[in-house]
Amino acid sequence: MVSKIVLKLTIVKKRDKQGRPIYRSPRIYLPTKLTDDSCFPFREGQPLLAKVVGEKLVIEKVMKAKRKA
């Protein structure tokens, strides 16, 4: 079971034909060692909610709204 792992924030920059930056895409990659662990709580394609709480990044499952009868 993986309880902690060090990650890096990467920013991918796309440029136009003249070489000027037009797009920034911040990404946090999760190693396979973490995501393939049986205790990892998320699945591919699942909607997630990310929020900053103090100095932490918190990622949670998005709960589906219950239908009213």
Q: Where are the alpha helices (DSSP H) in 1-69?
A: 32-35
| Segments in the chain below pLDDT 70 | 69
Task: Dump pLDDT digits (tens) for 32-46.
Answer: 999 999 999 999 999
Number of folded domains in the chain? 1
* Residue 56 covered by a domain: yes
Q: Please tell me the pTM assigned to this model.
A: 0.67
Backbone angles phi, psi at 42, to 5 degrees: -115, 155
* Residue 69 covered by a domain: no
**Domain span including residue 37:** 9-61
| Integer Cα distance of 38 and 42 in angstroms | 10
| Model pLDDT, residue 17 | 86
Chain-centroid distance of CA 26 in Å reads 10
| Integer Cα distance of 49 and 51 in angstroms | 7
* Residue 15 covered by a domain: yes
* Residue 53 covered by a domain: yes
* Residue 4 covered by a domain: no
